Chains A and B, each alone.
Chain A
Amino acid sequence: MSDIGQAVSGGMSPLTRIRKATTGLAVVAILGVAAELTYSKHWDSPVQLIPWGTLVVTAVALWFGVRATTRQRARIAQWLVGVAFLSSLFGVWEHIESNHNAGALDFRYATTWSTFSSSKQWWMAISGQVGPAPTLVPLSMLFACALVLITMIGRRAEAGA
């Protein structure tokens, strides 16, 4: 590596730099989802509180992952982010299903919704063309979980070393 490269990277290995970058992105993603949930007042029902819990679990997983100095901590972080990942998948499904159920209520498709094929209806629900639930938000939660997972690449092996 050149002297300039050494200075810019601070002598950190590529893996360390990428971990720091993905950690930062994960924090931004978590805060972004929290802001969106707050803006949309996502607390009208018990089911709507699930993503809040998922955010907390993701944040805790990230904290454990960043400080995974032992195999146990690394394992805890991986389990937590796994739970958060599954919860986010549930959120994606909930939003898509909610949009699908609302398809017939949209005045643009009130008389034609039932004539659409099943695949077209589900595609419109997935892409947010009908319904009130933005599918990008739970996908952003999945994105945050994936980032946390990336930060943990190789940590168990390092912790066990």
Chain B
Amino acid sequence: MQQEPTIERSWRKRLVASAVMLAVPVTVVGCGSDSASTATDSSSSVVEDVESTDSSATDTGTTDSSATDSESTDSSATDSSSVDTTQVNANSASVSELAAAFEAAGVPNASKWAREVEEYRPYSDDNWQHLREELAKYNIDEATFALITSVLTLD
């Protein structure tokens, strides 16, 4: 009989401690997620800046249907210096090959994007919709996405 109140106090303490341990991290992460929504308000200016500097680069490769093999294609639509836009196979190229192609095309953080493109294989002929959905999780801007897809091929 004397033992019961002791046991009851013991598990009550454990329950309270457990509840606090559970509540704190969830509250912290949840509040942090709320503050993330305010950051999207400043998105438009960044997108405009990116588009204005990279607008010339988006003309490369998007409408060129003849560049189906992996040979280098000169792109005169970009900036004054000639830039090789080597096309690489999205499903079979290595991460280093992807990174090199992205780097040549002027994609910022080329090696990181190369890892992400490699991670979400395979890609089918869906106008890069699958790739768009996966890279959208990283808040990629349209200009960078256009640069990435300009050097990717499925052939």
Interface set, chain B 35-56, CB cutoff 8 A to A: 35-36, 39-40, 42-43, 46-47, 50
User: Which one, A49-57, A60-68, A73-81, A131-139, is touching chain B?
Assistant: A131-139
In contact, B22 and A143 (Cβ under 8 angstroms): yes
Q: Does A35 contact B (CB under 8 A)?
A: no
In contact, A154 and B7 (Cβ under 8 angstroms): yes
User: Which one, B62-70, B72-80, B87-95, B108-116, is touching chain A?
Assistant: B108-116
CB-CB < 8 A to B39: which residues of A?
Answer: 108, 129
A9 CB → nearest B CB, Å: 15
**What are 26 A-B pairs at a CB distance below 8 A?**
A45-B119, A101-B112, A102-B138, A104-B112, A108-B42, A108-B139, A110-B50, A110-B108, A110-B109, A110-B141, A127-B28, A127-B29, A127-B33, A128-B29, A128-B33, A128-B36, A129-B33, A131-B137, A136-B26, A136-B30, A136-B33, A142-B25, A143-B26, A146-B21, A150-B18, A153-B14
Q: Does B15 contact A (CB under 8 A)?
A: yes
Interface set, chain A 102-161, CB cutoff 8 A to B: 102, 104-108, 110-111, 123, 126-132, 135-136, 139, 142-143, 146, 149-150, 153-154
Residues of B in contact with A (beta carbons under 8 Å apart): 7-8, 10-11, 14-15, 18, 21-22, 25-26, 28-33, 35-36, 39-40, 42-43, 46-47, 50, 108-109, 112-113, 116, 119-120, 137-141, 144
CA distance A102 to B135 in the complex (A): 11
In contact, A110 and B46 (Cβ under 8 angstroms): yes
CB-CB < 8 A to A135: which residues of B?
Answer: 29
Q: A14-B8, A102-B112, A136-B29 are in contact. List 5 more A-B contacts (CB 8 A).
A: A105-B113, A105-B138, A127-B35, A129-B39, A139-B29
Closest A residue, CB atoms, query B42: A108
CB-CB < 8 A to A18: which residues of B?
Answer: 11, 15
Contacts known (A139-B29, A146-B22); A127 close to B11, Cβ less than 8 A: no
CB-CB < 8 A to B31: which residues of A?
Answer: 127
CA distance A123 to B116 in the complex (A): 22
CA distance A14 to B10 in the complex (A): 13
CA distance A139 to B32 in the complex (A): 14
Q: Does A28 contact B (CB under 8 A)?
A: no
Q: Which 3 A-B pairs have the closest CB atoms?
A: A127-B32, A132-B137, A107-B141
Q: Does A3 contact B (CB under 8 A)?
A: no
CB-CB < 8 A to A136: which residues of B?
Answer: 26, 29-30, 33
B129 CB → nearest A CB, Å: 15
